[in-house]
Amino acid sequence: MVRVAVIDRDKCKPEDCKSICLKFCPKVKNRIEALRIDEELEKAVIIEKLCSGCGICVKKCPFNAIQIINIPEEIEPECSHRYGKNTFKLYRLPTPNSEMITGLIGENGTGKSTALRIISGEIKPNLGKYDSPPDWTGIQKHYRGTILQSYFDKLASGKIKISYKPQYIDKIPKIVSGKVIEVLENIDERNILKKILFDLELNKVINRPLNALSGGELQRVAIAATLCRDADIYIFDEPSSHLDVSQRIKTSKIIRTLPNEGKTVLVAEHDLAMLDYLSDQVSVIYGEPGVYGIISHNHGVRVGINIYLNGFLPDENMRFRNDSIKFHIRPPRESEDSEKGSRIFWPNMIKDFGDFKLEVDGAYIDQGEIIGILGPNGIGKTTFIKLLVGIEKPDNESISPFIDLSLSYKPQYIYTEYDGAVSSLLKDAVVENKNSDFIENAIIRPLKLYKFLDRDVSSLSGGELQRVAIATCLAKDAKIFFLDEPSAYLDVEERLAVAKALRKIVEDKEAYAFIVEHDIAIQDFMADRLCVFSGNPGTNGRSEEPLNLRGGMNKFLASMEITFRRDRETGRPRVNKTDSKIDRKQKGLGEYYYIPRE
């Protein structure tokens, strides 16, 4: 076994704990310097070769700063990168097969972005030798006999041009300024801007400065910029964030044209339906988030995604998760059976902002029910939620419909003004709720919040902050829960953990929930009925009475002219190729979502 030790430098404070880990390390007691305080860094460091991995320091550290994992010895020579001493370690790299789209799937923190940054040339792989990194000759020697050898040869000699869309697009307006059209015209090396602006529906915003765009608009501009460059390799790190379903499909269709022009594409993506639709092959990344990640060989798309869901890599005989993830087809709830007393109603509502008008048809939600909300961006979904929560007032009603009920709301955009640790933020929510064991078991554990309970809220990544915001919302002693885009920045397991936590809370507390969500697989997993919005984004929107899952999906997918089938092994929804036999058959039957029984 090889030891991988990771010490979080932000958490490690030897002066505060009086270097308690040193006092308990049995190796140190025997004068073997497996653990010491680095005088320059003023932090603990572990010499992995000398450490026995007993884990005592992990338990003794009062700040949860140390993690130690044993991994099989055989993998060690395959280390591709390590950022520094006692930091995250990446093994292997994805293989960019020419004229193909390679998808990457894995938990957050297992190294997808690191791998993509290496392939893009932004990071030179150090093969784990962070203190004496190899030169390009050493790197090529390491990858001798593989596609990566010639790839790095070309990359080193500047013969490969890369176009790269990073994961965190919010940084772009801080680096690039100007109007959308000016920025894109400057980089339109392929002379495709006119078509891209039309296909990605960006014409409405071309005269806006980058720093005035919404998340979804900025994402599409970043994708357009990546496509406009004339490159050999195109890399997209999480292209679906902030996009609605129709934009995800349109973006996928455009990216799919690149291999036909001789281009090679790599994509990291958490939306299973989009990854499935986009990729020609899939590579799975597994490991321990924040500690190490191992990249699998390439597999066919269906097989690769199913390997990830099953948690087992047959070709390596490696089980990387105890449970497999299954998408069960639930029987539709029979709302009519519900007792009348437990049903709550909202009236017809109108909200006119001047430029945008929303009309809501009155309807009801039953106790223990989750209503999913689907529709394009800018159609009024958030406004609908705000009307129900009481943040906005309907023009035709004097009071908000749920005024007498206890509500809990996670907005779409989360701000980090809280000055303090995650634990104290949660405590504030839990104090209101008497049953803290329930919170621990139903929320904190499944969402794996214990990993960063001590961290300051202001230091969290996008995904961590999202989980904390969801947990704070669910921990409240409320009767109705509202979650606006809970999946943004979360990986598949985190999305499913949120879905399960919500279902449990809604069922156990006999509560009610409304969820705005663009990930079809997650909406399918969570929602009992669907409220589908129609209209013209940015101009007018209408919310009709919620339909059962099948009816709602049919209505929504028919409007986008796409059909889904279910994967026979995992039950996950898969997008049918346009005009394929099954696509034509389902459209003929008007069954856009469920495969009709033979």
In the region spanning residues 42 to 101, those forming contacts with ligand SF4, defined by CB under 6 A, are 46, 51-57, 68
Cβ neighbours of 341 (radius 10 Å): 7
State the Cα–Cα distance between residues 400 and 517, nearest whole angstrom: 23
Which alpha helices (H) appear in 54-179, and where do they start and end?
56-60, 112-119, 136-142, 147-156, 172-175
Q: Contact region for ligand ADP (CB under 6 A) — 83-91, 132-140, 306-314, 549-557?
A: 83-91
Closest CA to 242 of 210, 223, 215: 215
Nearer CB in complex with ligand SF4: 255/291:
291
Of positions 35, 115, 127, 498, contacts ligand SF4 by CB under 6 A:
35
Token duo for residue 473: 């919302």
Length of the chain: 598
Q: Among ligand ADP, ligand SF4, none, what does residue 35 contact (CB within 5–8 Å per kind)?
A: ligand SF4
**Which DSSP helix (H) or strand (E) runs through 285?**
strand 281-288
Pairing label, strands 233-237, 264-268: parallel
Q: Among ligand ADP, ligand SF4, none, what does residue 535 contact (CB within 5–8 Å per kind)?
A: none
In the region spanning residues 283 to 302, those forming contacts with ligand ADP, defined by CB under 6 A, are 290
Q: Among ligand ADP, ligand SF4, none, what does residue 462 contact (CB within 5–8 Å per kind)?
A: none
Nearer CB in complex with ligand ADP: 109/125:
109
Of positions 27, 242, 455, 467, contacts ligand SF4 by CB under 6 A:
27
Of positions 67, 86, 102, 114, contacts ligand ADP by CB under 6 A:
114
Least separation, in Å, of the C-beta of 68 and ligand SF4? 5
Assess 353 for contact with ligand ADP (CB under 6 A): yes
Q: Among ligand SF4, ligand ADP, none, what does residue 573 contact (CB within 5–8 Å per kind)?
A: none
Give bridge partners of residue 90 from the DSSP assignment: 81, 293
Closest CA to 250 of 583, 561, 485: 561
Of positions 281, 377, 543, 563, contacts ligand ADP by CB under 6 A:
377
Assess 554 for contact with ligand ADP (CB under 6 A): no
Of positions 6, 25, 278, 301, contacts ligand SF4 by CB under 6 A:
25
SS3 535: strand
List, as one string, the DSSP characters of 343-388: -EEE--EEEE-SS-EEEE--EEE-TTEEEEEE--TTSSHHHHHHHH
Q: Among ligand SF4, ligand ADP, none, what does residue 27 contact (CB within 5–8 Å per kind)?
A: ligand SF4
Place of tokens 């409320």: 478
Of positions 378, 486, 535, 552, contacts ligand ADP by CB under 6 A:
378
State the Cα–Cα distance between residues 580 and 234, nearest whole angstrom: 27
Q: How far is CA 404 from the centre of its chain?
A: 35
State the Cα–Cα distance between residues 344 and 480, nearest whole angstrom: 10
The beta strands (E) that lie in 137-203 are given as 162-165
Least separation, in Å, of the C-beta of 169 and ligand SF4? 39
In the region spanning residues 90 to 109, those forming contacts with ligand ADP, defined by CB under 6 A, are 106, 108-109
Assess 111 for contact with ligand ADP (CB under 6 A): yes
Of positions 12, 34, 71, 483, contacts ligand SF4 by CB under 6 A:
34
Nearer CB in complex with ligand ADP: 88/525:
88
Least separation, in Å, of the C-beta of 37 and ligand SF4? 12
Each as own residue / partner, the long-range contacts of residues 156-161 (CB below 8 Å, 24 or more positions apart, any chain) are 160/121, 160/232, 160/233, 161/229, 161/230, 161/231, 161/232, 161/233
State the Cα–Cα distance between residues 300 and 282, nearest whole angstrom: 6
Amino acid type, 95 = T
Q: Among ligand ADP, ligand SF4, none, what does residue 102 contact (CB within 5–8 Å per kind)?
A: none
Nearer CB in complex with ligand SF4: 55/215:
55
Q: Contact region for ligand ADP (CB under 6 A) — 110-118, 156-164, 245-253, 320-328?
A: 110-118
Nearer CB in complex with ligand SF4: 49/340:
49
Closest CA to 222 of 162, 163, 161, 165: 165
Distances (CA, A) of 159 to 155, 156, 227, 376: 6, 8, 19, 41
Are 184 and 225 in contact by the 8 Å Cβ rule? The answer is yes
Are 576 and 565 in contact by the 8 Å Cβ rule? The answer is yes
Place of tokens 């990216």: 255
Q: Among ligand SF4, ligand ADP, none, what does residue 112 contact (CB within 5–8 Å per kind)?
A: ligand ADP
Number of residues forming the site for ligand ADP (CB under 6 A): 23
Nearer CB in complex with ligand ADP: 111/128:
111
Nearer CB in complex with ligand SF4: 59/319:
59
Of positions 134, 138, 259, 538, contacts ligand ADP by CB under 6 A:
538
Of positions 381, 467, 518, 574, contacts ligand ADP by CB under 6 A:
381
SS3 359: strand
Amino acid type, 331 = P
Q: Among ligand ADP, ligand SF4, none, what does residue 382 contact (CB within 5–8 Å per kind)?
A: ligand ADP
Nearer CB in complex with ligand SF4: 24/364:
24
Q: Which region, left, alpha or beta, applies to residue 446 given φ > 0 means left and ψ of -120 to 50 means alpha?
A: alpha
Least separation, in Å, of the C-beta of 140 and ligand ADP? 23
Give bridge partners of residue 505 from the DSSP assignment: none
Nearer CB in complex with ligand SF4: 51/282:
51
**Which DSSP helix (H) or strand (E) runs through 543?**
strand 540-543
SS3 97: coil
Nearer CB in complex with ligand SF4: 46/227:
46
Amino acid type, 229 = R
Q: Among ligand SF4, ligand ADP, none, what does residue 379 contact (CB within 5–8 Å per kind)?
A: ligand ADP
- Interface with ligand SF4 by CB under 6 A: which residues? 25, 27, 34-35, 46, 51-57, 68
- Interface with ligand ADP by CB under 6 A: which residues? 83, 87-88, 106, 108-114, 290, 353, 356, 375, 377-383, 538
